[in-house]
Every structure is written in C-alpha cells, then in structure tokens.
Amino acid sequence: MKTISIVTLILAIALCCNCTFSATQGISGTGTVPDTLDRILVNQVGYLPNSVKIALLRVKTLTFNVVDINSGKVVFTGNPGPFKYWDQSGDSVCTADFSSVTTPGKYSICIDDKSVCSYSFEIGEGVYSDIAKASLKAFYLNRSGMEITKEFGGKWARPAGHPDTLVFVHSSAASANRPEGFKIFSPGGWYDAGDYNKYIVNSGISTYTLLLFCQVYPEYCKNFKVNIPERSNSTPDVMDELLYNLRWMLTMQDPDDGGVYHKLTNKKFSDFSMPDKANDARYVVSKSTAASLDFAATMAMASRVFAKSETPELKELGKTCLGAAKKAYTWAKANPAIYFKNPPDISTGAYDDTDVQDEFLWAATELGLAENNLALIPEKGLAKQETRVPSWGNSGMTGILSLSLSIDPKVSEYKAEAQKRVLAFADKLVDKSENSPYKVSLDFFNWGSNSDVANQAIIKLLAYKISKDKKYLASIQGDVDYLLGRNATGYCFVTGFGGKQVMNIHHRPSGADGVTEPCPGFLAGGPNTVVLSDCPEITRSKFPAKSYADALCSYSTNEVAINWNAPLFFLLGAMDSFKK
C-alpha cells in the first residue's frame, strides 16, 4: 500500500503542476499519465527531420496529437488509419503518420486530450549519433583479455578477464605438432554473447558485417569517433574495433596445415561471475570445415578492405590475411565434410552446421574477388544460392552482397546478376513492410529475431546504394522503428536507450557487476517461441512477436550476441550517415 500511495501522489503532483518527466523515468509528455499499457507504440529514440514518421495505436481514437515536450503545445493533429490484425502478435494496430513534423525537438504522441501519451522521442539531425556509437562500443565492453577502465567504460569498468595466453589443445583438435594438452597463445577477441567463449563461425559473420560497413561507408567511418582506447590513432574507430577480433581469429589457425579451430572455450558455461573471476581452463576445440571456410571468407574480405587503407601496417596485415585465407580454404577443400559436434566433455555453444555449401560459396567468392580470379567464383553455386537474410548458419548470401558491390570490371557479369538478386530481395522485403500491420518486413521469428530485422535493413540499404531509389528508405525506417520501440512488446531493444528499456539482458558482466543498468548499446535477441521454458516462473505469449521476457534467465529472448550487434551498428551507422 505504501508503494501505491507514493506512485499515486507523484502522478497527482504531475497532473496538477503540469510537470515534465523524462522518458527514462517512465513518464512522458507534459503532465500526462504514462502509457504503461503500450497503447501507443513509437520509436523511442527518434527520427531524422525529413524521414517517414509513423507510430502505431492499439486503441480507437478519432485523432492523435503530436505534443512538444518542452512547451506542452500540440504541433500536429492527425487521423489514424484503419485497424489491421497481425497474426504474429495476435492484436490489431492502426497507423499514426506524423511525417510532416520536421522541426527539431522532443515530442510525444498523445490521445484523449493528453490523458495518454507515448514515450518521448526526438526529431533532429544527430538523433542516431549516440546510439550508433553505443552499438559499436558494446563490442569494446565485450573484449576478452582487456581491462575496461573507467576512462572508457565508466560505471561498467572491470578488470581484464581471460587473457588466453595459456590455452590448451583439446583432444578433438590434436595433431602431430600440436598434441592434446599442447599450449597455444590466443589472446584478444570479443566474448561471443552472454558467455565468455569465442567462436570462429560467429566471429566470421560479425567481423564481415563490420568490414562491409567500412567498405560501404568509408567517409562516415573516417569521421566516426568512439571513446575506445585506440581513438587517437590514425585508423578509423570502426576498423580499430574489428581489428581487435580479427587479430584473435588469426591465432585460431593451425600454422602447420591451415585448418581453423572451431572455438576457444571453457568445458562448460561459467556461472554469472565477472570475467576475472571465471578462471576455468580454456581449450581450442576441433578444427571444422565450417570454421575454416568462414575464416577464409572473412580474411579474404579483410584483405580487400585493408588494401585500400592509407596505413602501411593495414596493407601489410591485408597480405597476411589473404595468405591465411588461402591456407584455410585449401584445408577445407581437402576436408569438405568435417562437421562440428561438441565432444562429450564440452557443453558450450556448438554453432554446428552439416550443410556447408553456402560457406564454400562465400569463401570461394571472397577469394575470387581478393585475387581477381574469376575461376574461383562458382557460377553454379551462385545460381543455386537461396536469397535470404545472411546469418552464421546461412552465409552464402554474403558472397552475393560482396559481388553486388564489386568495382572490378572483370566481374561485371557476376555483379549485374548479384545486384539483380539484391534488388529483387529488397523489393520483396519492402512489399512485406508496406503490407504489414506493424510496418516491418519481418514475418518469421527465429532465435535472435531482432538481428533478422537489422539484417533485412542491410539488404535494403545496399539496394538503396545500388539503385539510389528512395522507395527503400521508408521500409528501412520501419526496421529502425521496430527495434527502438514500435514493436509488439513496446520495448526499445537497445540497452541504455528509450523510455521502456531492456534492463536484464542475459549477459554475464551485466548480471554480475552490481550496476543496475546493463552494459549499454547491446541489442537484445528479441521475441520468439523457439524455447518457452528458459524462465520456468515466467509465462510468455504464444504469439511469437510478443513472446519476450526482460529477464536474465531468458537466454532465448534476452541474450546479446556479436552477430546481432554487428548488423545493429551497420543499420544505425547508416542512418547516422544520412544526417545533413
């Protein structure tokens, strides 16, 4: 009763005094009752001035108002569209289009004479700058083997953990020159997700995505500054961050035969303790065809990007990467069906894949582009490749993306076909978003569904780069809006941002550091119904778009992962690059 009376008193004071509360306090608008029932769904971060701006309403109303937070004035009144039912969420919503509001400022969407208002949002040119920086800096906060100091980590500072200067070769990875128990040096890299292990398969697609961003937005990268230890050197900060992981990846290749270890891991997942307290022995486990091909593709891509660098060190590193890529590809060709399976004494993430034709396509394409060797590019493989969102388990589409952006005249025919595939896929995604009640292309909910939204946006961003057709921009904006609050759960899925914030991510440092707020800039995995039993005391919705729990135990919906943050940064960085 005491808590209820205090809340009631606060609301009464707010209504009487017409006070303004920040969205992070859970109350938005001017002197209004907070929309705790998510009746108004809106991008809780904001919009560029000239972008499409659409909120979603779950209540019937003849009009909606856009209210200036500071003045309390109504700056726009509109009429919502018709209600539409979404079978993925089990509810109906209608659109509230306020695209004509372009004046920079902080606003809320209100209904019923301001009795209910959305969380606040901003309109302005730099609206995505901070969140783009946070989404990249999340990788820094997940660095293995490095102390996160207060200068760069603030309240999330922590001692270094897992130096990985003494890593044992597991029996599954043993070879003549590196027998079981052999000690290797494999420092650096990012913790993969909510755990403290490092996996080549997932590192490959994550590092590739950041390399692709550097290729597509080189001028933006030159001017993009993040508060990380390397900020003062001459290398762009995006490149500095991916290099921390790429250099670790190079240590995972057996120098004798070129094969690549699948993962570096403890034998089992550690408990929720800080990295420096999780001191179990570390192992490299099993070489695999998938890991070797993902490694080869990533290193070949890196060699192309580094070749354009103005830094001699990176140019030289590019040569090293290409040599490593060729050795890994040769090993994979000689060992085309070594599929990873956890040994009996290892129980950490498997990233197992028994169909590696897409990995062969990706690696061959990247090597063909890196070496200007058309003979390596498998024409039949390209024709057979399914057009789909790239992921760690389905990576063939990444080769098509790389081909679509090639500037090598020798591959003009391949490029034309790749661009045709990308544009057709993007058009299909746009059609889906235009017909979706929630104005989003996503119509399936896998584990990590939020990353699928971000990766779909990347397809559209590349289609926009290829065609310069502005028809893609509204759909891209819809993907941003979904991730930042205009979704069936009402959460802004990026930690540290929005009015309805994700607070309890499945992430060991965030769960063990004693800081109330989670490490910022991470993308929560998102709703799905793949696993409904990870939090036995929480009953989740059977509708996949609503089946989400902001709880540490919900590894299936609330974990974080590098392959989810990489496309998030790509999307947010691209949006930030559109500012004038």
Catalytic residue among 38, 122, 164, 550: 550
State yes or no: is 431 an active-site residue. no
Active-site annotation holder among 262, 506, 507, 534? 506
Alpha-carbon gap, residue 274 to 511, rounded angstroms: 9
Rounded distance between C-alpha atoms, residue 200 and residue 127, angstroms: 34
Cα–Cα distance, 243 to 207 (Å, whole number): 9
C-beta of residue 135 within 8 angstroms of C-beta of residue 565:
yes
Q: Which residue has the tokens 């209540």?
A: 59
**Tell me, what amino acid is at 175?**
S
CB-CB neighbours of 514 under 10 Å: 7
Query: How far is it, in rounded angstroms, from Cα 512 to Cα 557?
Result: 19
Q: Which of 122, 164, 195, 353 is catalytic?
A: 195
Q: How far apart are CA 119 and CA 530, in angstroms?
A: 30
**Burial zone of 150 (CB within 10 Å; 0-12 exposed, 13-18 middle, 19+ buried):** exposed
280 Cβ contact list (under 8 Å, min separation 6):
266, 267, 268, 270
Beta bridge partners of 92: 85
Residue 122 designated active-site? no
Q: Please tell me what DSSP assigns to residue 63.
A: -
Q: Is 262 a catalytic residue?
A: no
CB half-sphere exposure, 50, CA atoms < 13 A: 5
In which region does residue 277 sit, left (phi positive, over 0), alpha (psi from -120 to 50) or beta (all else)? alpha
DSSP string, 330-383: HHHHHSTT------TT--S-----S--HHHHHHHHHHHHHHHT-GGGS-HHHHH
Q: How many CB atoms lie within 10 A of CB 120?
A: 26
195 catalytic, yes or no?
yes
Which token pair is 60? 């019937």
Residues with catalytic function = 195, 506, 550, 559
